[in-house]
Amino acid sequence: MPYRRTPKVEARLAETRERIIKAALKLVARGGYAAANIPAIAAEVDISAGLIYRYFATKADLFNEVFKRAAQTEIDACAAAFDTEGTVRERLARVVETFARRALRGRKLAWALLAEPVDPPIDVARMQFREPYRAIFARLVQQGIEAGEIAPQHPHLVGTAIVGAIAETLVGPLSAPHPDEEDVDLVASLVAFCVQSLGPQPTAANPSRRRRHE
C-alpha cells in the first residue's frame, strides 16, 4: 500500500516551503540575487542546504517563486493606483510614481527584479513578470481612447514602451547602493515623460475642429 502523507505532515512540509521562500525573498531584498545563495537561504531557515532541493528541484524553480511573490506585491500596488479616480493621464501618473517610488525605496529588491544579472532560466521567467505592468498601461491607454482623452493608438505597444522606459530609467539609480538627492527629480521627470508619451489631448491637437463643434 503506497504511503499517504497525513494532513499534519502536509502542513509541516508546506510551512517549511513557505519559510524557504520568505528567507530567499528576505535575502534578495537585503543584498540582491547574488546574496541569496542556497547555503545562505538554508542558514536563514536553519535547515541543511540539501533539504531545500527536496522542496525545489533547482535554484531556478525557487527563484521563479521568489520573483513571482515579490513582483505580485508590486503589481498589486500599481493596480491599486490604477483603480483610483481621475483622468487617464492622472491615473497613469500615479501608477508610474507608485512603481518608481517603491522601487527606489527597496533598491536591492527592485534591482534584482529588473536588471541584476541572473541565470538564464531565471531571467526568462523574470521577463514574464513585466507582462502585468504592460497590461495595466495598455488598459489605461484603451480607456483613454474610449473616453476621448487620448488619440487612437496601439494600447499594447504603448504599454510595452512605457514599461521599457521605466525599467531603463531606473536601472542606473537602482544600481547605486544608497538613495540620491536627485531621486525626487528623477521620479517627477519619469512621470512627466510617461504622461507625455500618450500624446496631446485629441481636441488640443486640432483647435480649429474644436471651434467648429463649440
Q: Which amino acid is at 22?
A: K
* Low-confidence winner among 134-143, 147-156, 182-191 (lowest mean pLDDT): 182-191
Q: How many angstroms separate the CA atoms of 164 and 150, rounded?
A: 20
72-116 pLDDT, tens digit each: 899 999 999 999 999 999 999 999 999 999 999 999 999 988 888
34-59 pLDDT, tens digit each: 899 999 999 999 999 999 999 999 98
* Shared domain check, 175 and 90: yes
* Shared domain check, 201 and 117: yes
User: Does pLDDT of 205 surpass 60?
Assistant: no
CA distances (Å), 154 to each of 67, 162, 199, in order? 29, 12, 12
- Angle in degrees, CA 93, 94, 96, rounded to 5: 65
pLDDT of residue 163: 95
Q: How many angstroms separate the CA atoms of 166 and 11, rounded?
A: 41
CATH assignment at residue 17? 1.10.10
pLDDT of residue 206: 47
* Shared domain check, 109 and 17: no
Task: End-to-end CA distance of the chain: give it in Å, rounded.
Answer: 83
Q: How buried is 162 (Cβ within 10 angstroms: 0-12 exposed, 13-18 middle, 19+ buried)?
A: buried
Supply the Cα-derived Rg of the chain in whole angstroms: 22
Across the chain, mean pLDDT equals 88
CATH assignment at residue 119? 1.10.357.10
* Shared domain check, 128 and 154: yes
User: Does pLDDT of 183 surpass 50?
Assistant: yes
Distance of CA 174 to the CA centre of its chain: 14
Average pLDDT score over residue span 126-150: 93
Distance of CA 103 to the CA centre of its chain: 9
Q: How many angstroms separate the CA atoms of 201 and 209, rounded?
A: 13
* Low-confidence winner among 6-10, 28-32, 47-51, 161-165 (lowest mean pLDDT): 6-10
Report how many domains make up the chain. 2
Q: How many angstroms separate the CA atoms of 107 and 174, rounded?
A: 5
* Shared domain check, 121 and 47: no
**Which conformational region is residue 46 in: left (phi greater than 0), alpha (psi within -120 to 50 degrees), or beta?**
left
pLDDT of residue 159: 96
